[in-house]
């Protein structure tokens, strides 16, 4: 089993129809219905979104203009007033959903908790009032560095309620990475926990926050709000650090949702790009609310009795859009799991599905590949008959893994939605609508209604069917990122200038290569830039290189991805050393540790290869293409004539 290659998926022509039982009860029931919807949206995207915004969401005040498009800057529902926390909570309280489970939490070790809509609303209001007491006002950025506990979602919703943009930093990021993000966003407060459970150990989140803030290294941060989770001893800095359970004592649970401008910033979420510094992706309120609402409803085909489970972490966009905002806006029951599959508990996901009767299950290809390895006796030993629909996200899924998921987990009864999207797109862009679009293993199939996706060449011209090209989107959509925080220029350069606008029409460039087949199905091939995906986590090669060269021993570093059976890609770093250092196993260990310290465990290189020099072009550019082939153990193909010094390559090859 390998990560998908063009060869393996070019020959994939199996087609899976949803059962008529599934289709008959689905939100969108047939291919014809999908196509009608798609054509209607394409003919007039603005009218399409306006109608849904009116039907599906609560607005304090209606907009004057649906879309104001000054490429590449979009404003949706101009002057509309809305609050996403209101749409996720308050509006359900006057319905029968008041006492429906909003959030089911399965914690480690063996803890669990269920919050109804009324209970979640109350917690969010109290949390918001505590934030206000700590001086947080509309427009102040709040950092959230949390384990997967209900308070992570509560903190997000509390921020949204009072108009304080949140910036959630994944709990696996290091103190250094956290500090960079807090500084870039000028966060005024950090919400964290004493610790979190990760596999069988405690992650010392609060210690990391202390490190990030030490020596006034993140001067914008005035307060830290700490949720008690693991009860180990932590340092509490007087005047700066506060326990949530102390401050909530006697706090009012009355906190009306602030009417926000549709374009007010809802959150910043950092993601890796092809240059060193992670970018702060900015999402705004109204359009994001609408798009995550509609995609959750139609793609996951929600029914009011469903238990819906997305296994992502709230630190990623998937957690934002499809654990918290999309499901709650729909009044769904969303499940949040603190645990992670590991050798000591290989069946834990299946236990959760059985325990709660999960109906919709959304996970990542890397997890599926790990489950295949663990053996099908684990899922087979549990009752998974509650499942109705499966989803995947994060990277291309290889047809073998798709088939296993379909057969072993879905019992050949559940459609699979392979959902392509990005932090930048805010919501799912290319995906089957499960009752309508027959699936092909490895293809994300067709664009969501209102999404004018295409595959083009560098001049912006559509390529022929089955020819590879760049994946682009032709028309703005409601949840598109608004800018890179504090850097409009980088936004323009990264997403809108690689492919030239034709006739004044700007194309959003996703950074992925793709192919469209004769049926109009999209096959996403993966990144075309210097971004790699390790277990579905996106990392910039330059970011890891910068971390490596910040170590005194390293003169130069080049990082590439090497295909990996389970993780999709593994990080291989080619390193040249300063003259007073020589290669050793200890140094290799130390450098790996250094990267973990600078970025986090997710960026730990699998391999470090020392070399006297790196292969470069005459103009001094490192030829990563050659290094990729070397790392993968492949023959060096293609042109090497631009190499400055061929012997460098020969030497590297000898060493491998
Ligand atoms: C990149 C975005 C969006 C949630 C998780 C990742 C890759 C994502 C798929 C898919 C093929 C996929 C792309 C994309 N990707 N989903 N279904 N098929 N590739 O978000 O960290 O912003 O990464 O993930 O390369 O550009 P992200």
- 361 membership: H or E segment, kind and range: strand 360-363
- Confidence at residue 6, expressed as pLDDT on a 0 to 100 scale: 53
Ligand 1 geometric centre to CA of 421 (Å)? 5
Q: Which atom of ligand 1 is nearest to the CA of 424?
A: 22
Q: Is 167 exposed, middle or buried (0-12, 13-18, 19+ CB in 10 A)?
A: buried
Ligand 1 geometric centre to CA of 463 (Å)? 22
Q: Are strands 112-116 and 101-106 parallel, antiparallel or unpaired?
A: antiparallel
Distant-in-sequence, close-in-space partners of 38: CB < 8 Å, separation ≥ 6: 446, 447, 449
Question: Rounded distance, CA 189 to CA 220, Å?
Answer: 8
Pocket test for ligand 1, best of 168, 315, 394 (most atoms within 8 A of CB): 394
In this prediction, residue 4 has a pLDDT band, given cuts at 50, 70 and 90, of very low
Round to the nearest angstrom and report the end-to-end CA distance of the chain: 23
- Confidence at residue 2, expressed as pLDDT on a 0 to 100 scale: 38
In this prediction, residue 3 has a pLDDT band, given cuts at 50, 70 and 90, of very low
Q: Which two structure tokens, joined as six digits, stand for 167?
A: 């910036």
Ligand 1 geometric centre to CA of 90 (Å)? 32
Nearest CA to ligand 1 atom 24: 394
pLDDT digits over 280-302, tens only? 999 999 999 999 999 999 999 99
In this prediction, residue 9 has a pLDDT band, given cuts at 50, 70 and 90, of low
Nearest CA to ligand 1 atom 6: 394
> pLDDT averaged over the chain?
95
Ligand 1 geometric centre to CA of 396 (Å)? 8
Question: Rounded distance, CA 368 to CA 353, Å?
Answer: 15
Question: Rounded distance, CA 53 to CA 26, Å?
Answer: 21
Ligand 1 geometric centre to CA of 524 (Å)? 9
Pocket test for ligand 1, best of 446, 524, 528 (most atoms within 8 A of CB): 524
Structural contact between residues 557 and 573, judged by C-beta atoms closer than 8 angstroms: yes
Ligand 1 geometric centre to CA of 394 (Å)? 4
Query: Which is nearest to 92 in space by CA: 70, 115, 66?
Result: 115
Nearest CA to ligand 1 atom 19: 395
Nearest CA to ligand 1 atom 14: 422
Question: Rounded distance, CA 9 to CA 238, Å?
Answer: 58
Question: Rounded distance, CA 524 to CA 515, Å?
Answer: 7
Question: Which residue in the block uniquely carries the two structure tokens 């990144």?
Answer: 527
- Confidence at residue 11, expressed as pLDDT on a 0 to 100 scale: 66
Buried b / exposed e along 550-577 (16+ C-beta atoms within 10 A): ebebbebbbbbbbbbebbbbbbbbbbbb
Measured over the CA atoms of residue 123, residue 124, residue 128 and residue 129, the dihedral's sign is negative
Ligand 1 geometric centre to CA of 554 (Å)? 32
Pocket test for ligand 1, best of 395, 402, 441, 448 (most atoms within 8 A of CB): 395
Q: Which of 254-263, 290-299, 537-546, 626-635 has the lowest mean pLDDT?
A: 626-635
Q: What percent of the chain has pLDDT over 90?
A: 88
Structural contact between residues 581 and 616, judged by C-beta atoms closer than 8 angstroms: no
Q: Look up residue 446 and give its DSSP letter.
A: S
In this prediction, residue 624 has a pLDDT band, given cuts at 50, 70 and 90, of confident
Structural contact between residues 294 and 302, judged by C-beta atoms closer than 8 angstroms: no
Asked whether the predicted pLDDT for residue 617 surpasses 90, the reply is no
Structural contact between residues 273 and 544, judged by C-beta atoms closer than 8 angstroms: no
Ligand 1 geometric centre to CA of 422 (Å)? 5
Nearest CA to ligand 1 atom 5: 394
Q: Which two structure tokens, joined as six digits, stand for 522?
A: 């999209």
Q: Which atom of ligand 1 is nearest to the CA of 430?
A: 17
Question: Rounded distance, CA 151 to CA 218, Å?
Answer: 23
- Confidence at residue 312, expressed as pLDDT on a 0 to 100 scale: 97
Pocket of ligand 1 (CB under 6 A): 271, 317-318, 393-396, 418-423, 444, 510-512, 524, 526-527, 538
Q: Which atom of ligand 1 is nearest to the CA of 317?
A: 4
Ligand 1 geometric centre to CA of 366 (Å)? 12
Q: Which atom of ligand 1 is nearest to the CA of 537?
A: 21
How far, in Å, are 167, 290, 476, 482, 500 from residue 73 at the CA level? 21, 18, 9, 6, 16
Query: Which is nearest to 414 in space by CA: 441, 389, 445?
Result: 389
Diameter of the chain measured on Cα atoms: 74
Query: Which is nearest to 508 in space by CA: 520, 518, 522, 497?
Result: 497
Asked whether the predicted pLDDT for residue 129 surpasses 70, the reply is yes
How many CA within 13 A on the CB side of residue 415?
Answer: 28
Q: Are strands 279-284 and 265-271 parallel, antiparallel or unpaired?
A: antiparallel
- Confidence at residue 387, expressed as pLDDT on a 0 to 100 scale: 98
Question: Rounded distance, CA 156 to CA 256, Å?
Answer: 16
Kindly report the number of other CB atoms within 10 A of residue 113's CB atom: 13
Q: What percent of the chain has pLDDT over 70?
A: 98
Q: Where are the beta strands (DSSP E) in 22-89?
A: 65-70, 73-78, 81-82
Q: What is the mean pLDDT of residues 627-656?
A: 81
Kindly report the number of other CB atoms within 10 A of residue 68's CB atom: 16
Query: Which is nearest to 447 in space by CA: 426, 466, 420?
Result: 420
In this prediction, residue 649 has a pLDDT band, given cuts at 50, 70 and 90, of confident
Q: Where are the beta strands (DSSP E) in 517-586?
A: 522-527, 531-534, 537-540, 554-564, 568-577
Nearest CA to ligand 1 atom 3: 422
Ligand 1 geometric centre to CA of 478 (Å)? 19
pLDDT digits over 484-529, tens only? 999 999 999 999 999 988 888 899 999 999 999 999 999 999 999 8
Ligand 1 geometric centre to CA of 526 (Å)? 8
Q: Which atom of ligand 1 is nearest to the CA of 318?
A: 4
Q: Which atom of ligand 1 is nearest to the CA of 392?
A: 17
Question: Rounded distance, CA 185 to CA 166, Å?
Answer: 9
Question: Rounded distance, CA 429 to CA 292, Å?
Answer: 11
- 46 membership: H or E segment, kind and range: helix 45-56
- Confidence at residue 1, expressed as pLDDT on a 0 to 100 scale: 34
Q: Which atom of ligand 1 is nearest to the CA of 418?
A: 17
Q: What is the mean pLDDT of residues 28-40?
A: 98
Nearest CA to ligand 1 atom 12: 395
Ligand 1 geometric centre to CA of 588 (Å)? 30
Question: Rounded distance, CA 575 to CA 556, Å?
Answer: 6
Ligand 1 geometric centre to CA of 467 (Å)? 21
Structural contact between residues 581 and 614, judged by C-beta atoms closer than 8 angstroms: no
pLDDT digits over 572-586, tens only? 999 999 999 999 999
Asked whether the predicted pLDDT for residue 123 surpasses 60, the reply is yes
Question: Rounded distance, CA 128 to CA 156, Å?
Answer: 10
Pocket test for ligand 1, best of 291, 420, 512 (most atoms within 8 A of CB): 420
Report the predicted TM-score, pTM, of the whole model to 2 decimal places. 0.95
Please state whether 535 falls in left (phi above 0), alpha (psi between -120 and 50) or beta: left
Query: Which is nearest to 419 in space by CA: 332, 504, 508, 310?
Result: 310
pLDDT digits over 361-403, tens only? 999 999 999 999 999 999 999 999 999 999 999 999 999 999 9
pLDDT digits over 452-496, tens only? 999 999 999 999 999 999 999 999 999 999 999 999 999 999 999
Ligand 1 geometric centre to CA of 470 (Å)? 14
Ligand 1 geometric centre to CA of 496 (Å)? 19
Is residue 380 helix, strand or coil? helix
Nearest CA to ligand 1 atom 17: 420
Q: Which atom of ligand 1 is nearest to the CA of 538?
A: 21
Ligand 1 geometric centre to CA of 393 (Å)? 6
In this prediction, residue 593 has a pLDDT band, given cuts at 50, 70 and 90, of very high
Q: Which two structure tokens, joined as six digits, stand for 268?
A: 């910043």
Q: Which atom of ligand 1 is nearest to the CA of 397?
A: 18
Ligand 1 geometric centre to CA of 395 (Å)? 5
- Confidence at residue 611, expressed as pLDDT on a 0 to 100 scale: 93
Is residue 165 helix, strand or coil? coil
């Amino acid at each position: 089993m390998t990560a998908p290659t063009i060869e393996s998926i070019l020959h994939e022509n199996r087609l899976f129809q949803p059962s008529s039982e599934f289709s008959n009860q689905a939100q969108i029931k047939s291919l014809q219905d999908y196509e009608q919807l798609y054509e209607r949206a394409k003919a007039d995207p603005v009218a399409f979104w306006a109608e849904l915004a009116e039907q599906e969401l609560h607005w304090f005040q209606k907009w004057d203009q649906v879309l104001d498009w000054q490429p590449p800057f979009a404003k949706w529902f101009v002057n509309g007033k809305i609050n996403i926390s209101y749409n996720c909570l308050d509006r359900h309280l006057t319905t029968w959903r008041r006492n429906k489970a909003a959030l089911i939490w399965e914690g480690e070790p063996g803890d669990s908790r269920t919050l109804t809509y009324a209970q979640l609303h109350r917690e969010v209001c109290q949390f918001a009032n505590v934030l206000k007491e700590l001086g947080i006002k509309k427009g102040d950025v709040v950092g959230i560095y949390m384990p997967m506990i209900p308070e992570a979602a509560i903190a997000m919703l509390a921020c949204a309620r009072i108009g304080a943009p949140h910036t959630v930093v994944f709990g696996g990021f290091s103190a250094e990475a956290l500090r960079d993000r807090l500084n870039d966003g000028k966060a005024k407060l950090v919400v964290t926990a004493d610790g979190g459970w990760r596999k069988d150990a405690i992650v010392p989140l609060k210690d990391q926050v202390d490190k990030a803030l030490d020596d006034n290294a993140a001067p914008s941060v005035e307060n830290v709000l700490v949720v008690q989770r693991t009860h180990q001893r932590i340092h509490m800095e007087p005047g700066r650090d506060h326990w949530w359970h102390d401050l909530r004592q006697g706090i009012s649970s009355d906190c009306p949702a602030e009417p926000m401008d549709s374009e007010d910033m809802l959150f910043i979420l950092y993601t890796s790009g092809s240059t060193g510094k992670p970018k702060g992706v900015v999402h705004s309120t109204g359009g994001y609310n609408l798009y995550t609402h509609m995609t959750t409803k139609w793609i996951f085909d929600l029914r009011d009795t469903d238990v819906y489970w997305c296994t992502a972490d709230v630190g990623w966009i998937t957690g934002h859009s499809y654990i918290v905002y999309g499901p709650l806006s729909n009044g769904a029951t969303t499940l949040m799991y603190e645990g992670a599959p590991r050798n000591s508990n290989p069946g834990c996901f299946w236990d959760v599905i059985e325990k709660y009767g999960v109906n919709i299950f959304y996970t990542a290809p890397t997890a599926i590949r790990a489950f295949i390895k663990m053996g099908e006796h684990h899922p087979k030993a549990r009752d998974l008959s509650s499942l109705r629909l499966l989803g995947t996200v994060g990277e291309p899924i290889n047809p073998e893994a798709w088939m296993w998921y379909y057969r072993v987990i879905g019992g050949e009864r559940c459609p699979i939605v392979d959902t392509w999207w990005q932090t930048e797109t805010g919501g799912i862009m290319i995906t089957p609508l499960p009752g309508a679009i027959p699936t092909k293993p490895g293809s994300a199939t067709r664009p969501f209604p209102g999404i004018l996706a295409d595959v083009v060449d560098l001049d912006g011209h559509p390529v022929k069917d089955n020819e590879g090209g760049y994946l682009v989107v032709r028309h703005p959509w409601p949840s598109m990122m608004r800018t890179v925080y504090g850097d409009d220029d980088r936004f323009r350069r990264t997403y809108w200038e690689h492919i030239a606008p034709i006739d004044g029409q700007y194309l959003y460039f996703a950074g992925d290569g793709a192919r469209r087949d004769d049926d109009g199905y999209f096959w996403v091939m993966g990144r075309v830039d210097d971004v790699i995906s390790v277990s579905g986590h996106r990392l910039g090669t330059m970011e890891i290189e910068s971390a490596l060269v910040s170590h005194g021993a390293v003169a130069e570093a080049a990082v590439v991805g090497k295909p990996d059976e389970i993780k999709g890609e593994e990080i291989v770093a080619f390193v040249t050393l300063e003259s007073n250092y020589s290669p050793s196993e200890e140094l290799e260990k130390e450098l790996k540790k250094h990267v973990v310290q600078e970025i986090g465990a997710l960026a730990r290189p699998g391999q470090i290869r020392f070399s006297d020099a790196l292969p470069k072009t005459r103009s001094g550019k490192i030829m990563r293409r050659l290094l990729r082939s070397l790392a993968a153990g492949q023959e060096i193909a293609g042109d090497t004539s631009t190499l400055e010094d061929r012997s460098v390559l020969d030497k590297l090859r000898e060493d491998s």
